[in-house]
Amino acid sequence: MSSSGHQSVRLEGHEDQCAGRVEVWKDGNWGTVCDDRWDLREAKVVCAQLGCGTALRVTGQNGLFPPGSGPIHLDELNCTGNEQNLWFCPGVQENSDCGHKEDAGVVCSGQSDGVHPASVRLEGHEDQCAGRVEVWKDGNWGTVCDDRWDLREAKVVCAQLGCGTALRVTGQNGLFPPGSGPIHLDELNCTGNEQNLWFCPGVQENSDCGHKEDAGVVCSGHQSVRLEGHEDQCAGRVEVWKDGNWGTVCDDRWDLREAKVVCAQLGCGTALRVTGQNGLFPPGSGPIHLDELNCTGNEQNLWFCPGVQENSDCGHKEDAVFESFHVFDVCLLLQLLHQPFLLQNISASYGSLVYWVFLPPW
């Protein structure tokens, strides 16, 4: 990208306008910046100045971008990261002892024409929030090895793509087809709070993996849950979203632990009752996405629970359903008080539920 104007900044040496060798304008000439003390604070200033999002990575003598020529305008910058321009940062102007092999570069998160360095995509599946993880580097999409790949790394990817929560990680299990081309990242060790996989420690290039070990992820973005077949939004037949379709859940092994997960996920309080073949709610149609779930009750989503995905031997007469009711939460709070009071028949549609709670004597 080329800019005009006194003391402006541009990134050169890469096809993407938000990645490249940093150059600044001074005295009628573009000049480079030495990478001495160059880190993400300085890069943050450049990315913000160019409207290129977040600084993902800094480069220097690693040769990610070709060296420049001409003057070296800035050296030993010491930015806080909050400056509006590199020229606001303390440092050496001119008289640098650097050579162009030390030219500073940056990779920002900003997007150019839909393809940008250090971006991420999910391939090998029709759903945009599930698939084989691929990252952009050096003009190519490449895969990520599944060594040390777990839900922390997956969490970063799902958040970066706006795809909600990481539900599952995949690798050699063959859930998604293997990729091709370079393997850009290996042995990542994320905390789960990074803004991008490139912030995570790990091996860049020189991976000893093959594509049978390509990492994949299933995010929650298009695998939501809903309750159908009842006028109350917190009671009904359980349906989950997968592969572009809503599908039901078989009631094999379905109990209050699984129901607890659904209630919590929907913000519907406590699970009161589970039903299946009793016909309380009408059966569904279409695919049966989950079967024989074995939740602890503490999972964030049904997809975290062990079980059978697809290939269920159930029919829709076995669709799992449940009821939850917020008054139960109120009852739990009232138990802290001291006068017994009986609540019976909370609602006809919820059956003859009986709870002892305690109210004050007034």
Residues 39 and 127 reside in one and the same domain: no
Q: Is residue 3 part of a domain?
A: no
Identify the pLDDT of residue 129: 84
Identify the pLDDT of residue 361: 35
Identify the pLDDT of residue 10: 94
Residues 142 and 204 reside in one and the same domain: yes
Q: Which domain holds residue 61?
A: 9-108
Residues 208 and 160 reside in one and the same domain: yes
| Total number of domains constituting the chain | 4
Identify the pLDDT of residue 6: 40
Residues 146 and 206 reside in one and the same domain: yes
CATH of the domain at 197: 3.10.250.10
Among residues 197, 219, 241, the one where a domain terminates is 219
CA distance 7 to 86: 9
Residues 98 and 157 reside in one and the same domain: no
CA distance 157 to 93: 39
Identify the pLDDT of residue 327: 30
Structural contact between residues 32 and 68, judged by C-beta atoms closer than 8 angstroms: yes
**Using only C-alpha atoms, what is the Rg of the chain?**
28
Reported as type and span, the H/E element at residue 92 is: strand 92-93
Identify the pLDDT of residue 138: 65
Identify the pLDDT of residue 62: 66
Identify the pLDDT of residue 52: 84
Cite the DSSP H helix spans in 226-335. Answer: 256-266, 327-334
Residues 193 and 232 reside in one and the same domain: no
Q: Is residue 200 part of a domain?
A: yes
Identify the pLDDT of residue 63: 67
pLDDT of the chain, 362 residues: tens digit per residue: 333 334 489 999 987 778 899 999 888 889 999 999 999 899 999 998 888 877 878 888 766 789 999 999 999 999 999 998 998 999 888 788 899 999 999 988 774 333 344 478 999 987 778 899 999 776 678 999 999 999 999 999 988 887 877 878 888 767 789 999 999 999 999 999 887 787 788 887 788 899 999 999 988 774 468 888 887 778 888 888 776 678 888 888 888 898 888 888 887 888 887 766 666 778 888 788 888 888 999 887 787 788 877 676 787 665 554 545 333 322 222 222 333 333 333 333 333 333 333 333 33
Phi-psi sector, 98: left (phi>0), alpha (psi -120 to 50), beta: beta
Q: Is residue 114 part of a domain?
A: no
Q: Is residue 4 part of a domain?
A: no
Identify the pLDDT of residue 336: 29
Beta bridge partners of 359: 339
CA distance 274 to 214: 39
Among residues 73, 108, 143, the one where a domain terminates is 108
Which two structure tokens, joined as six digits, stand for 187? Answer: 């042995």
Residues 30 and 57 reside in one and the same domain: yes
- Per-residue burial over 228-262, b = 16 or more CB atoms within 10 Å of its CB, e = otherwise: ebbeeebbbbbbbbbeeebbbbbbbbbbbbbbbbb
Q: Is residue 103 part of a domain?
A: yes
Residues 317 and 331 reside in one and the same domain: no
Identify the pLDDT of residue 243: 62
Residues 280 and 199 reside in one and the same domain: no
Q: Is residue 232 part of a domain?
A: yes
Q: Is residue 2 part of a domain?
A: no
Identify the pLDDT of residue 244: 64
CA distance 132 to 280: 40
Identify the pLDDT of residue 45: 94
Identify the pLDDT of residue 359: 33
Residues 214 and 229 reside in one and the same domain: no
Among residues 187, 219, 251, the one where a domain terminates is 219
Residues 15 and 58 reside in one and the same domain: yes
Structural contact between residues 88 and 116, judged by C-beta atoms closer than 8 angstroms: no
Residues 278 and 205 reside in one and the same domain: no
Identify the pLDDT of residue 353: 36
User: Which residues fall within 8 angstroms of residue 2, CB to CB, at 6 or more apart?
Assistant: 10
Q: Is residue 244 part of a domain?
A: yes
